[in-house]
Amino acid sequence: MWISQGKYMSDCVRLNQDRAGFMTSMFWTIINGSQIFSFLFNSVILGNFEPQVLFILTSLISLVGIFIFSILPEPEKDDSLPSKPENPG
């Protein structure tokens, strides 16, 4: 899943190279924000419920994330971008 996210982001950046910095910073903001949220979520759940409840909830959240990622549209290929130059050697 992690590799797929990086590939999807790099494909999107290729289409909008002028916004590459914004897209990369937004990606890392979401990743770091999700870590803060997950720490708080885990502490609340573990403080009030059995560990099995945490496992079930995080499994469901992961499945929802995988589903959302699977329905994202594929970035369109931009033919106007220059292709990778061939090695003249």
Domain spans, the chain: 2-70
Q: What does the block give as tokens for 57?
A: 């909830």
Which is higher by pLDDT, 30 or 89? 30
Is 14:81 a contact under the CB 8 Å cutoff? yes
Indicate if the pLDDT at residue 54 is higher than 90: yes
**Predicted pLDDT of residue 49:** 95
Q: Could you give the CA distance from residue 66 to residue 60 in angstroms, rounded to a whole number?
A: 10
pTM of the model: 0.64
Q: What percent of the chain has pLDDT over 70?
A: 81
